[in-house]
Amino acid sequence: MEGIIFDIKHFAVHDGPGIRQTIFFKGCPLNCWWCHNPESQAANPEKFVKINKLDGKEFRKKITVGYKIAVNELFKIISGDQVFFEESGGGVTFSGGEPLMQADFLYEIAKLCKQNNIHTCIDTTGYASEKTIKKITEVIDVFLYDIKLIDNELHKKYTGAPVTGIIRNLKCLDQNKKNVVLRFPVIPGITNTEKNLSEIKSFIKSLKNINQIDILPYHNISNGKYERFKKENKMSSAQALPDKDMNILKAEFESIGFNVSIGG
């Protein structure tokens, strides 16, 4: 079986416990205004022209983002870092894009990792059928699960997809006592509004078994990517929240009983 990925990051330290290898799956059913990986969204490989400037001259190079890879071939790459996983308590993290968009491929590669004692994480929007979520829990140790906006209309406006299934799947993981770390992207004027924060706090307080949240600061380092990939950038003038505001937010989540990390 083959899947489509667009990058592999070795020695990652913010994508789950220990030292990790992060596999970036191509394709995402969402279209968040603040996406840091706009090149991840289309399901198939995409061609673009990379322009480098040097001494006033432009150098153009054709590049393809995304490539097919077989389960066995990918496993060989993942297991090449196994010694680092074992020494650090790390493993592999499936990210993207949205790995659940290639659920069969994800299941097969994660199963192979588990059969070889490699710890598995998924960095996910949770946008999938309940059947898919339940099946994938067989082979995933930790879910890094995005929680962005609770209001369905606002979620549709800013991500292009409804939140209802995402909330249903999160409740399902909670009821089944799966290991979940919530991830809240702090997007100025969009996710950090008083209304959304109040709705998020009230919702996550109702979860019985989840008590860890990473709050992820917005940064605009991806502006160049939007130009390169000729994608519309709706956040080009947004500014990151100052550190002191992130610390206030951290204290707010701590006050409702959560363990909070800034940046994951």
Residue whose CB is less far from ligand SF4, 91 or 97: 97
Of the CA atoms within 13 Å of residue 59, those in its CB half-sphere come to: 4
Q: Which residues bind ligand SF4 (CB under 6 A)?
A: 28, 30-32, 35, 37, 40-41, 96-98, 125
**Min dist. Cβ of residue 30 to ligand SF4 (A):** 4
CB closer to ligand SF4, 118 vs 166? 166
Least Å distance, CB 161 to ligand SF4, is: 9
Residue 58 CB, shortest distance to ligand SF4, in Å, is: 29
42 vs 109, beta carbon nearer ligand SF4: 42
Say how far apart CA 155 and CA 144 lie, in whole Å: 19
Between CA 214 and CA 200 the distance in angstroms is 13
Nearest residue (CB) to ligand SF4, 90 versus 97: 97
DSSP string of 132-160, one letter each residue:
HHHHHTTT-SEEEEE---SSHHHHHHHHS
CB-based burial label for 56 (10 Å; 0-12, 13-18, 19+):
exposed
Nearest approach, Cβ of 150 to ligand SF4 (angstroms)?
A: 16
- Indicate the SS3 state at residue 61: strand
Q: What's the min distance (Å) between Cβ of 43 and ligand SF4?
A: 12
How far is 87 from 146, CA to CA, in rounded Å? 28
Name 54's bridge partners: 57
Nearest to ligand SF4 of 120, 191 (CB atom): 191
